[in-house]
Amino acid sequence: MLFTGAADAMRRAALAEVAREIRGRDQRQVAVLDVACGTGRFLEQLMDAYPRVSATGADLSPAYAEEAAERLARWPTARVVEANAESLPFADGAFDVAVSIYLFHELPPRVRSIVASEMARLVRPGGLVVFADSIQTGDDPNLDRMLETFPGWFHEPYYASYLATNLDALWSETGLDKEHEMLAFLTKVATYRRAGAR
């Protein structure tokens, strides 16, 4: 509703980045983590495209995690865990790609740094973080006024601080290097790589 039906199309901009990462590799050897997977819509897109990828979703909400697990049940290599993104129950470097979609605008500033560090910890050397969330102030000046008024329509206590967050600095502090950035309507997708052989 928030995105007037465009959310799945915008999520696909993140999928394009994951696809770029899988290209030329055996998908069975690729492990993807979706942090705050919600009801699993992104992982469903991923599994539709790459049905043998090893996919893990994590979400704090038991109800969302359950719905995501149901949505993904037909793929044996997909799983969902109920977990806090601040402290995820996976080993260092366990994933080739860690994705997060529409999470960071919901986090208090202090927690944004913790979750970014956690995602950086979980990708292997040479691995990739795919970040997707709301566009920010100045990304499209025609939409600045709408972004400013958005938190007044809904309960979004951290959105205003998100709009002003320097995302590149946030990820740079975790030791990751920026690769790409693109805008997809109301969504910004950016990728950050951990140093090391790919």
Ligand X SMILES: C[S@@+](CC[C@H](N)C(=O)[O-])C[C@H]1O[C@@H](n2cnc3c(N)ncnc32)[C@H](O)[C@@H]1O
- Single out the segment in contact with ligand X by CB under 6 A; choices: 35-43, 122-130, 138-146, 184-192: 35-43
Residue nearer to ligand X on the CB measure, 29 or 72: 72
Segment 99 to 118, residues that bind ligand X, using CB under 6 A:
101-103, 106
Nearer to ligand X, 25 or 95 (CB): 95
Beta bridge partners of residue 56, listed in sequence order: 33, 79
Q: Can you state the angle between helices 41-49 and 7-22, rounded to 10 degrees?
A: 40
Cα separation, 137 vs 106, whole angstroms? 16
Q: For ligand X, give the closer residue by CB, 13 or 103.
A: 103
155 or 197, CB closer to ligand X? 155
Does position 85 interact with ligand X (CB under 6 A)? The reply is: yes
Query: Cβ closer to ligand X: 86 or 173?
Result: 86
Please pick, from the candidates 41, 52, 79, 178, the single residue that binds ligand X as defined by CB under 6 A.
41
DSSP 89-103: SS-TT-EEEEEEES-
| Helices 41-49/62-72 angle, 10° precision | 20
Q: What phi and psi values does residue 164 have, to the nearest 5 degrees?
A: -100, 0
32 in contact with ligand X (CB under 6 A): no
If binding means CB under 6 A, how many residues of this protein chain bind ligand X?
17
> Site for ligand X (CB under 6 A): which residue of 6, 9, 19, 60?
60
The verdict on 133 binding ligand X (CB under 6 A) reads no
Task: Give contact residues for ligand X (rule: CB under 6 A).
Answer: 11, 36-38, 41-42, 59-61, 64, 84-86, 101-103, 106
